[in-house]
Amino acid sequence: MPAYKDLYDMVRRTIEAEMKEMEEMVERLSNEVKEAIERESCLTPLYTELKTEREAIYIIDVPYLKAETIYVRVDQQNLQLSCNDSRGFKYKLSLRIPKEFEGSEVNLTRNRGRIVLRLTKKS
């Protein structure tokens, strides 16, 4: 048997062992990240705040949003939103709303993974 065949097999086994070790490491780290997120119990979604003279608009980004889990509460100057996504992650967001929008009605629309909250000033 030629020497290069033995060398080829040795290199192949070494590479396969390294690949298996890397796959196990990725799996372990993925599980650790998921457990850490579950311990924190919720994530904070990204959002954008826009203000005009008549309304305050909040655009909230929640990937894979499950629409039936959206919960919004406005209490004085606090706006609280919570929802879940289809992967099982929970999202919570608490915002202080401007005083001039206190007691405003909230209009909620959603488009795919985005929630749009509009608070309109009372006339």
Cα angle value 60/76/62 (rounded, 5°):
10
Q: Is 77 helix (H, G, I), strand (E, B) or coil?
A: coil
Helix (H, G, I), strand (E, B) or coil at 83: strand
> Which tokens is 33 given?
């990240």
- 64-73 per-position pLDDT tens digit: 999 899 999 8
> CATH classification of 46-120, choosing from 1.10.8.50, 2.60.40.790, 3.40.50.10330, 1.20.1560.10?
2.60.40.790
Global model pTM greater than 0.75: no
The pLDDT of residue 57 is 93
Considering 18-27, 47-56, 67-76, 94-103, the range whose residues carry the highest mean pLDDT is 18-27
Domain parsing of the chain, residue ranges:
1-40, 46-120
Farthest CA pair distance, the chain: 92
Tokens of 40: 């924190």
Per-residue model confidence (pLDDT) at position 121:
83
Q: What is the pLDDT of residue 35?
A: 78
pLDDT tens figures, 67-119: 899 999 888 888 999 999 998 888 999 999 888 888 788 899 998 889 999 99
